[in-house]
Amino acid sequence: MLTRLSPLTELATRLRTAGFPLATDWRVVDTWFRSWADHPELRDELRSQLRSLSARQAAKLLRSSRETTTHFAWCLLDSPTDPFSFWLHEYKAQEDWREGYADSVHNHRYHFCTTILRGNYLHERYETTHDPRTGLIDSAQLRRRTLCQAGACATMLADEYHRIPAAASGTMTFLVKSRPVSTFSLSYDPRSGIGHRHVPVEVRLGELAERI
């Protein structure tokens, strides 16, 4: 008798047995993700998983999760042996947002696929130009603006730029991320025209002693 896999186990198993480096062909992952993401039991499984966490599992989840200026990023699965990780993003009420990354024009160090579990957000995609001297973004042109509702899916590659200027209170999304394909990401504030480079602490660690 075959035992039916839970939605998260089903996706993790498919990604672990892909037979190719996920980050090199993320469009294939996007195809798999879109056909999987409308799973009717996904939200129920996420609820059940969170309610059944042991004290040790909850502590591990908290250590790996973080707060950003616009949302809480909850790490559901991040094993060093996996070429991917699972995340739950919980958006703050709009009045609690601070200027920061999600509402700037930015890219990421990794590829990702996402689906909205509840709520909605305004999603903008951009074309950017870069200063040849610094490599920073020096202009951004809006290419497409979409109000994404619950059930919508999206994929972003590491060299693509987007912005989420607004989200309904209580909006939650599920994401699968590739491992980083770049050592930094970029952001740009359209109002000030200022660009930034973001380098995570783990990349900086190797040179820390020399900077003292």
Kindly state the tokens that stand for 54.
């042991």
Q: What is the dihedral of CA 79, 84, 86, 92, to 10 degrees?
A: 120
DSSP one-letter code for 34: H
- Classify residue 158 as left (phi > 0), alpha (psi -120 to 50) or beta: alpha
Tell me how far apart the alpha carbons of residues 152 and 40 are, in angstroms, rounded to a whole number: 14
Tell me how far apart the alpha carbons of residues 161 and 143 are, in angstroms, rounded to a whole number: 10
Q: Which amino acid is at 156?
A: M
Kindly state the tokens that stand for 48.
């059940």
Task: Evaluate whether 158 touches 111 at the Cβ level (below 8 Å).
Answer: yes
Q: Give the pTM.
A: 0.91
Element (H, E) at 9: helix 7-16
Task: Evaluate whether 11 touches 29 at the Cβ level (below 8 Å).
Answer: no
User: What pLDDT was estimated at residue 38?
Assistant: 86
Radius of gyration, CA atoms only, the chain? 18
What does pLDDT average to in each consecutive run of 10 residues of the chain (212 residues)?
68 96 96 92 90 93 93 95 97 87 89 97 97 96 97 97 94 97 94 92 83 84
Question: 7-16 and 42-51 are packed helices; what angle lies between their axes, rounded to 10 degrees?
Answer: 100
